[in-house]
């Protein structure tokens, strides 16, 4: 099934912020090129869908601006989305920001190799087999964080222009 990429028009059927061609270009000039090129087009499209799903769920409610329409499938494009690094002060409401595309490409590489989100149980700190004894860590976060993608996407979040945002994953 061909990947439907958001192009800034607010499609009702979009599945990804990033196309395979955009992800290929992103990874081709980075140390990740040799890994990304190993995946076939179907695997890349599946990974881009998973990356976009992850972005939609993780950053929901924290984007700058408002969705352009209620009918659009994804959170971008947006209007009144602050862009402090621009003379206009706002992202155009007809684009998906390049930094979001890059964050999606970064996450797609991870999604092509392993789940972005896994079910978590208790973290075992100590285990003894004879006269069974188990100790569980308390309060330790065990969900993987993806710093490279977070850094690309952070400026698109409320408070994201220069402020470090602590992204907590459940």
Tell me, yes or no, whether 92 lies in a domain.
yes
Continuous H helices in the chain: 20-28, 33-36, 41-58, 98-113, 147-153
Tell me, yes or no, whether 144 lies in a domain.
yes
Tell me, yes or no, whether 168 lies in a domain.
no
pLDDT in tens, 10-67: 999 999 999 999 999 999 999 998 999 999 999 999 999 999 999 999 999 999 999 9
Q: How far is CA 86 from CA 82, 90, 151, 154, in A?
A: 9, 7, 18, 16
Report how far residue 160's alpha carbon sits from residue 156's, in angstroms, rounded to the nearest whole number: 6
Would you say 56 and 74 are in contact if contact means Cβ atoms under 8 Å apart?
A: yes
**For 155, which DSSP code?**
G
How many residues in the chain? 170
Q: State which of 32-36, 84-88, 126-130, 143-147 shows the largest mean pLDDT.
A: 32-36
Tell me, yes or no, whether 62 lies in a domain.
yes
Does the pLDDT of residue 145 top 90, yes or no? Answer: no
pLDDT in tens, 59-109: 999 999 999 999 999 999 999 999 877 777 899 999 999 999 999 999 999
φ, ψ of residue 66 to 5 degrees: the values are: -130, 155
Closest CA to 165 of 53, 52, 64: 64
- Whole-structure pTM value: 0.81
For residue 41, give its domain range.
20-156
Tell me, yes or no, whether 164 lies in a domain.
no
Tell me, yes or no, whether 77 lies in a domain.
yes
Tell me, yes or no, whether 2 lies in a domain.
no
Q: How far is CA 62 from CA 16, 127, 136, 158, in A?
A: 19, 40, 33, 6
Tally of domains within the chain = 1
Tell me, yes or no, whether 120 lies in a domain.
yes
């Amino acid at each position: 099934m061909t990947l439907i990429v958001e192009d800034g028009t607010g499609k009702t059927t979009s599945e990804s912020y990033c196309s395979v061609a955009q992800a290929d270009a992103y990874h081709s000039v980075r140390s990740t090129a040799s890994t990304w090129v190993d995946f076939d087009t179907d695997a890349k499209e599946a990974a881009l869908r998973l990356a976009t799903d992850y972005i939609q769920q993780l950053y929901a409610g924290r984007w700058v601006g408002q969705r352009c329409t209620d009918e659009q499938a994804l959170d971008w494009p947006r209007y009144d989305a602050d862009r402090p690094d621009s003379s206009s002060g706002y992202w155009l409401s007809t684009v998906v920001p390049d930094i979001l595309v890059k964050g999606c490409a970064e996450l797609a590489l991870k999604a092509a190799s392993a789940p972005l989100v896994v079910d978590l149980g208790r973290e075992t700190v100590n285990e003894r087999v004879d006269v069974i004894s188990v100790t569980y860590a308390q309060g330790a976060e065990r969900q993987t964080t993806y710093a490279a993608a977070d850094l690309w996407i952070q400026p698109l979040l409320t408070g994201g222009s220069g402020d470090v945002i602590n992204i907590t994953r459940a």
